[in-house]
Structure 1
């Protein structure tokens, strides 16, 4: 493989990062964010970082050539040029991450699938079975896949087991294991993505629901609870609910009656507090699922992918593609605006055909992966789990040929038609769009069954009474009859997935979401000594920033269509007036009526055979009662899943004790910012500052860092204490009205108390001043993650103080449970605070990076 890559490198022209970026910048008409996202995430590159594509035109040619190659296997093939024109400029058909990066990629042995679900047959919860799942998820993540699996098969805590432990540890330790494995897997600089689910019927479901409340725990996974209709009826009618294990057993080994409303209140509170757990209305999913008509053949749905839009059976996978709805609006933002339904239906049918071609391309990728596994020099026993995993995935891809055709730019489409997102007329129009999507995609799949053959296990009698199939019948009787006669090419077809980074390249709103904001401010760091820059803001560490206005792309289109100057520098009053005149007014993610958005999702869900990834964004002051009401409305409206995100709910420090709901973060801050106690417990941390040995004393209040002192540890002016000393006390002494002295006291091995007087006198003045800054924010209750972000953002010309700064960071990092910095509210890639939460994903508006959960 290395020789092949070397030959390919020599044969093909390569581009520097700057060359590709500037060419992409021109392609995207000056949109730096879109250009950077394309170069970093989607341009073809090898493992050495050589870039082989200059613009997205090159990428779309690569995709079109490969899809056209598959088309030639079948009757009436589309040409490469036809396919290219459908994708060109991200205008109509937009393959999502896996297909976009993987199709025609000779430098990477990876799957084209965006998402997978894995699991053991039956209710196996042996250690062997659990370790097998752990290895399988890692193997999939290293091939770019997001993974979901269900934990309902694991026996509850305290259950007897036939090993030395005697009783089971329950779900939570395994949640931590799977989460930690996810965090270990890097995918081109990205972590893996994992969904863990459990049935509400499981006796340990309450522990599952609470597991992520403790800071630093289960940070590598999204969690969702599978809720059945019986539980929801028990909640609404105020009756008890019976949990059991096994959850589907006719003769369970264990049962427990619980107060359904009490557990429901906990789910609602945790979602209000931290945006998790997500909710999966499992009976709705199973009842509507066409693949579950084949449950006895291995297609029983058990969990979903990390963002919840694809419910899957074990070892099935899905590839994703979206149609850009905005592009079908003719004369946008004008009185003549109309949606071209004829062109749209034609393109949906072609999109479904392209998705079926991509399954053949995926099978080639899977064969290459298996070939690579076979060629590896490892012992066959070691390779067995990975090899069997891909054989199982291959089997499901051949038997079911599942696809994931979806849409994006719903918010911009509605605005371009003059419809306010969330209004009754806009909801009705959106439902009509998705009804047309379903009918056209299923028509395409039936037509392909005539030409290419139905998926191998198709059986009309199994499906005929499925509610989704009956809905299609009511809308198009001829489609139903043709399906009876010819079958269908694909077991399931449709989804609405997150399109966070791809929507940056379509330059539209994402998925079915409304616009986040039509106008917002962004900051860029600048050199204050540069005469050409404008300094609008200086932060707490002295860095200078320029603020500039960012307009949503289609808001600019609206301005141009209505004669507004897009080059003018508008003040805030003028901007507010502009927005009020636009179709985006009262139609942003924070403006829309939340109940209407849930109803909209439920109505659209009726025409999507998989599921929908969507987030209900709520203001910070939204109540728990509102969250509960939205969840109940989602269940009644026919949603398959729902996620709420209350503004800022992930910025605070979460604590394990959820019993005292009245305990607010403001009380924590008040406690920390009160008068310093005379004596604080302290930890001792040693580090190297260049060639010098340094020591840090971290004062603790309630086990949390409250202040930091540092000094030299190895010369006559330094702080000399035995290396065995790892803890002690910091004592505050008042010498006079104006002077405070801090001493450190520890016990020696003979039990005597030794005092080091005047820690502050041991400081270099510059170190002392920065330590005071760090101690100040610690004392006022800033989250440790944010303190670390602050320390990391300090930049010095002096190399020694930069090394000292790194030592302080290391000293504080031990108070993050997993030893890493989780930048709550800040982008992990660029540090910006311009994060938004959409479709189950955190998306940075500054650099375009995204992650689920």
Structure 2
């Protein structure tokens, strides 16, 4: 077994050693260092590190894949695999595979994403709760989850329980969203996609559900739109919604003006980047797995970022090929793309992905053994156990893979092609066509060596548009596939590559460069010698700002004789950018319609889907969003997301009457400093060091106005039913005339129940600190700064530190998507926050939040 000198088996590494060694590995790139050490270095549950640099991780992965290779003909060696994945240069396992392969400290899946569902039209409470539990069980194993709500009966429908009528979709959206927020995944929250058919009578409620502040904050939402609806929009005609959807004999139907609903989708997307759109007829028509719909492979929803449409209980693992590394003599007149090496590596990538499926089955077997050994009764653990059995079965039946790419923007720039130009689009299409042909060729060869996926049937696929494209381009490949089958039911995707691109030091996924030159912030101690303080923020921290060049912009500078160490003025930087192939090719520069057309053209060669964002400026109109969405449908995109600069957080400011402070932070002009008698309140529950805690958050216009936090469910704490999530905080007086805060909620019979004197239920020290924090909230301090203030409090008692962590955790859920209204990063305060591939990513600190 190969390993670095630093980390022999079972040897731990100090954080200092890992940081220093990895910083050297990344040539001084502290952001890439931070991302790898914090997210991907092998560590146990106590935080002990076992890898010093990514070399150690790559040997861990190479050894495990080589172990699987040894089971088959013509195996690759660990050294050959290591050479393909080292330095993030060519082939990059993404996310869960990178973290989980060879990791025996976690019992977790290698799959990045799952879709679940009942596989029936049942919408009983039992089936809805079952999906909720399955979602949580998958998220605790590190997977992102998607499921569709089209089977739930519309609001007002008759039900045979005490409610008499159905509540519709939105309450269940909230349930699934809240469950997502409760699950921790190695320091991050889970990721969820909720979808619904436009044919559902509650589709408009679904579309509007996230407009209310604090609602559905744990999920992305997308609407499944069919061609009939799009034609009705185009022709300004009526459209019929039904339940069950698409039924010949629906129990309920209504006729709507398609254009009115479409305008609402466009308006909400313009305002908040949601809902996303899934062009469902295109997805189903193009889907190769849907040729096997009668065998359980009918696509029902997508993963959280939309790039993998899946059937119930199927999953996918992701891997990216670094396109930049196939450009020889980059940024020179001799620049050339090495198609021969690329073809060879695509074949290896597909082979490694198939090996990872075998590793995933081993992981699933470990999960099943863990569940079997758990002390709970079979009744309690039955849902989880049968969930993983179903996933195991689907994994082996289809052996689905997710080979994708990163660094498209850098590849084009290195070849002297401007992103978005016709020449660039044509070249990108050629690259992706080559990728598709070679991946399918590899899968056919694997079928010859290892056997085809279980349900392969060439007749079922004979009329599939994607398969026909392959046949047209390469008849010999098609003939071989008919004869031998292929190893994998579907192979390709273009997924988000946020942290992957930071470690490969390239542009992300299919996206253009965000900015070729930008500022980054570093927190400094102003008392240290030889430090520069550029500004002091609202909570008193000192920051230094410094110029950062995008890695391959710097490569271009060096290749063209520009000094990369010089301290350039802004005017000189602007001049450099104008001379570079990155000029007019950033995410905000690229012509939006051309980007949509590029996505549609590349989509023809991707059998799953593409995660991509169309970035438009803040002053863009709703008509532009409308035009982009229509164009996306016309050119064959399977889905599309439009992000208007600054819109993601702005929608969550509930009051329309706003003013701006001198820093540009939007505040409520009516936010009272004198505490009202009654406040709406939400209950937030969480766990710190195995202790159960509870927070009562008083709200005005959905924004935290006060917070009281303490231990829950102990002799001296708060005894509150688990189903209570909201109520009122009422300020009263006790017999002695002292202020008293009561919490009032409605019980299951609808009667008001009051818990008197929250102040007497919590530790006095918790209460005093809570009053202090509430004072900062009441006077309008931005939430991210309040959280920062709480985190910086130096408290000695462990119980107080637990309280501090709880307050920060409870307040963070009200910070829209991890950003504030000014578009700053909640982690480091930088304004270099971009929205790409369905995720908000900070270019200063690497913090990334999907959704």
Q: How does 1:574-593 map to 2 (within 5 A)?
A: 574-593=572-591
Measure how far apart 1:536 and its partner are. 1.4
Measure how far apart 1:45 and its partner are. 1.2
Cross-structure match for 2:731: none
- 1:243 paired with 2:241, answer yes
Single out whichever of 532-541 and 437-446 deviates more from structure 2. Answer: 532-541
Cross-structure match for 1:22: 20
CA–CA separation in structure 2 for the residues paired with 1:365 and 1:676:
52
List per-residue Cα deviations over 1:99-150 (Å, max 9, x = no partner): 1111111111111000000000220101110111000011100100000000
The alpha-carbon distance between structure 1 residues 477 and 574, as it changes in their structure 2 partners (threshold 3 A), is same
Cross-structure match for 1:681: 676
Cross-structure match for 2:101: 103
Measure how far apart 1:368 and its partner are. 0.8
List per-residue Cα deviations over 1:407-441 (Å, max 9, x = no partner): 00000000000000000100000000000000000
Matched position secondary structure for 1:524: strand
Cross-structure match for 2:618: 620
Stretches of structure 1 lacking an aligned partner (at least 5 in a row): 1-8, 658-662, 686-697, 709-718, 728-763
Matched position secondary structure for 2:75: coil
Using the size of structure 2 for normalisation, the TM-score is 0.85
Q: 2:424 aligns with which of 420, 423, 426?
A: 426
Q: Which has the larger radius of gyration?
A: 1
Measure how far apart 1:846 and its partner are. 2.5
The alpha-carbon distance between structure 1 residues 53 and 337, as it changes in their structure 2 partners (threshold 3 A), is same
Measure how far apart 1:667 and its partner are. 10
Cross-structure match for 1:524: 522
- Is residue 785–residue 822 contact of structure 1 (8 Å, CA) maintained in 2? no
Measure how far apart 1:541 and its partner are. 3.9
Measure how far apart 1:522 and its partner are. 1.2
Cross-structure match for 2:738: 722
Cross-structure match for 1:86: 84
List per-residue Cα deviations over 1:742-783 (Å, max 9, x = no partner): xxxxxxxxxxxxxxxxxxxxxx9xx9999998766x3xxx7x
Matched position secondary structure for 2:222: strand
- 1:227 paired with 2:225, answer yes
The alpha-carbon distance between structure 1 residues 344 and 699, as it changes in their structure 2 partners (threshold 3 A), is closer
Measure how far apart 1:56 and its partner are. 0.8
The alpha-carbon distance between structure 1 residues 282 and 674, as it changes in their structure 2 partners (threshold 3 A), is closer
List per-residue Cα deviations over 1:43-85 (Å, max 9, x = no partner): 1111111111111111111111111111111111111111110
Matched position secondary structure for 1:428: helix
Q: Name the count of aligned residue pairs.
A: 777
Measure how far apart 1:206 and its partner are. 0.5
Cross-structure match for 2:72: 74
CA–CA separation in structure 1 for the residues paired with 2:269 and 2:610:
19
Q: How does 1:632-671 map to 2 (within 5 A)?
A: 632-654=630-652
CA–CA separation in structure 1 for the residues paired with 2:342 and 2:458:
28
- Is residue 784–residue 826 contact of structure 2 (8 Å, CA) maintained in 1? no
Cross-structure match for 1:746: none
CA root-mean-square deviation: 3.5
Q: How does 1:36-55 map to 2 (within 5 A)?
A: 36-55=34-53
CA–CA separation in structure 2 for the residues paired with 1:34 and 1:487:
41
- Is residue 792–residue 809 contact of structure 1 (8 Å, CA) maintained in 2? no
The alpha-carbon distance between structure 1 residues 358 and 541, as it changes in their structure 2 partners (threshold 3 A), is closer
CA–CA separation in structure 1 for the residues paired with 2:794 and 2:368:
52
- Is residue 680–residue 700 contact of structure 1 (8 Å, CA) maintained in 2? no
The alpha-carbon distance between structure 1 residues 666 and 481, as it changes in their structure 2 partners (threshold 3 A), is farther
CA–CA separation in structure 2 for the residues paired with 1:808 and 1:380:
36
CA–CA separation in structure 2 for the residues paired with 1:598 and 1:340:
27
- Is residue 200–residue 241 contact of structure 2 (8 Å, CA) maintained in 1? yes
Q: How does 1:310-329 map to 2 (within 5 A)?
A: 310-329=308-327
Cross-structure match for 2:358: 360
- Is residue 784–residue 815 contact of structure 2 (8 Å, CA) maintained in 1? no
Q: 1:546 aligns with which of 544, 547, 571?
A: 544
Using the size of structure 1 for normalisation, the TM-score is 0.85
Measure how far apart 1:538 and its partner are. 2.4
CA–CA separation in structure 2 for the residues paired with 1:291 and 1:821:
34
List per-residue Cα deviations over 1:818-841 (Å, max 9, x = no partner): 799954344454454432111001
CA–CA separation in structure 2 for the residues paired with 1:684 and 1:176:
21
- Is residue 654–residue 702 contact of structure 2 (8 Å, CA) maintained in 1? no
- Is residue 649–residue 817 contact of structure 2 (8 Å, CA) maintained in 1? no
Q: How does 1:405-804 map to 2 (within 5 A)?
A: 405-654=403-652, 681-682=676-677, 721-724=737-740, 778=780, 785-786=783-784, 788-789=786-787, 791-792=789-790
- Is residue 777–residue 786 contact of structure 2 (8 Å, CA) maintained in 1? no
CA–CA separation in structure 2 for the residues paired with 1:20 and 1:375:
35
The alpha-carbon distance between structure 1 residues 656 and 300, as it changes in their structure 2 partners (threshold 3 A), is farther
The alpha-carbon distance between structure 1 residues 17 and 655, as it changes in their structure 2 partners (threshold 3 A), is closer
- Is residue 788–residue 809 contact of structure 1 (8 Å, CA) maintained in 2? no
Q: How does 1:164-179 map to 2 (within 5 A)?
A: 164-179=162-177
List per-residue Cα deviations over 1:331-359 (Å, max 9, x = no partner): 00000000000110111011001101111
- Is residue 681–residue 699 contact of structure 1 (8 Å, CA) maintained in 2? no
Q: How does 1:208-227 map to 2 (within 5 A)?
A: 208-227=206-225
Measure how far apart 1:526 and its partner are. 1.6
Cross-structure match for 1:134: 132
- Is residue 174–residue 216 contact of structure 2 (8 Å, CA) maintained in 1? yes
Matched position secondary structure for 1:651: helix
CA–CA separation in structure 2 for the residues paired with 1:302 and 1:433:
30
CA–CA separation in structure 1 for the residues paired with 2:593 and 2:282:
19
List per-residue Cα deviations over 1:670-695 (Å, max 9, x = no partner): 9977699998735699xxxxxxxxxx
- Is residue 495–residue 609 contact of structure 1 (8 Å, CA) maintained in 2? yes
Cross-structure match for 1:334: 332
CA–CA separation in structure 1 for the residues paired with 2:483 and 2:9:
50
CA–CA separation in structure 1 for the residues paired with 2:444 and 2:260:
48
- Is residue 704–residue 815 contact of structure 1 (8 Å, CA) maintained in 2? no
Cross-structure match for 2:748: none
Stretches of structure 2 lacking an aligned partner (at least 5 in a row): 1-6, 681-696, 708-734, 744-767
Q: How does 1:109-188 map to 2 (within 5 A)?
A: 109-188=107-186
Cross-structure match for 1:738: none
Single out whichever of 617-626 and 281-290 deviates more from structure 2. Answer: 617-626
Single out whichever of 216-225 and 646-655 deviates more from structure 2. Answer: 646-655
The alpha-carbon distance between structure 1 residues 540 and 188, as it changes in their structure 2 partners (threshold 3 A), is closer
